[in-house]
Amino acid sequence: MSTAGNDTDDDQVPAWARKTAGESRWAATAAIIGILVVQFFLPREFEAGPRWLVPSIGLALLVILAIANPIRLDREEIWLRRLSLLLMAVLGFALVWSVYHLVLGLIHGTVSDNAAGLLTSGGAVWLSNVLVFALWYWDFDRGGPAARAHARKPYPDFLWVQMQNPDLTDPEWEPQFPDYLYLSFTNATAFSPTDVMPMSRWAKTLMMVQSAVSLITVSLVIARAVNVLK
């Protein structure tokens, strides 16, 4: 009787708040590969070290993580978590390096005087900004995908529309990487939260930093491109 009662209680709890099978890793993996490809083809002045360095390190870490946890992100081990955070740090460092040198080049007028090339480079850096922050939101929210699968933390770092409207939401809904990608894209374009609200201080800080990076990158690149076209 007690077991049946517990099953009924679990059915009434939304998926994001209870233990689940774990998220598929492939959407996040595709985003990581996308960032590494962008890094490989960035102009030389925006690359952190030799052209192969960041893509090689990132790909090596990604392969290890994929082998250790190939299908569902539900395996909780300290070394896996540390490797995941190291990968996030590598991608973040590459982004910061690219943004810094892009802004520096725009301020000092050392970047390309070709408007199309400038917009392409700026667009690539902006795309990296969207993908990297999407991965950070995804990897830090409630302790990461594995911790979310085991429902380790009851309080969310982001308040999603589905959480506010449970009667209009599939009870099996839980945030996955495409949701965090949407959050990152809207924050990078609107320079503020839209329908996803940051709840914790780290989430607010990270969204503020992303908005600042996006605003600076877009405004400087467009201003320089307009000046070149004149």
What's the confidence (pLDDT) of residue 1? 39
Residue entry with tokens 């052209």: 51
Q: Of 176, 181, 141, which Cα lies nearest the Cα of 35?
A: 181
CB-based contact 31:134 (threshold 8 Å) = yes
What's the confidence (pLDDT) of residue 147? 92
What's the confidence (pLDDT) of residue 112? 63
Q: CA 148, CA 170: separation in Å to the nearest integer?
A: 18
Q: 73: which strand partners? A: 23
What's the confidence (pLDDT) of residue 108? 75
Q: Phi and psi of 110, rounded to 5°?
A: -100, -5
Q: CA 196, CA 160: separation in Å to the nearest integer?
A: 5
What's the confidence (pLDDT) of residue 44? 82
What's the confidence (pLDDT) of residue 196? 93
What's the confidence (pLDDT) of residue 57? 95
Show the low-confidence residues of the chain (pLDDT under 70).
Answer: 1-11, 110, 112-115, 225-230
| SS3 assignment for the chain | CHHHHHHHHHHHCCHHHCCCCCEECHHHHHHHHHHHHHHHHCCHHHCCCCCCHHHHHHHHHHHHHHHHCCCEECCCCHHHHHHHHHHHHHHHHHHHHHHHHHHHHHHHCCCCCCHHHHHHHHHHHHHHHHHHHHHHHHHHHHHCHHHHHCCCCCCCCEECHHHHCHHHCCCCCCCCHHHHHHHHHHHHHHCCCCCCEECCHHHHHHHHHHHHHHHHHHHHHHHHHHHHHC
Q: CA 83, CA 62: separation in Å to the nearest integer?
A: 9
What's the confidence (pLDDT) of residue 114? 66
In sequence order, what are the residues at sequence separation of 6 or more whose Cβ sits closer than 8 angstroms to the Cβ of residue 194?
Answer: 186, 187
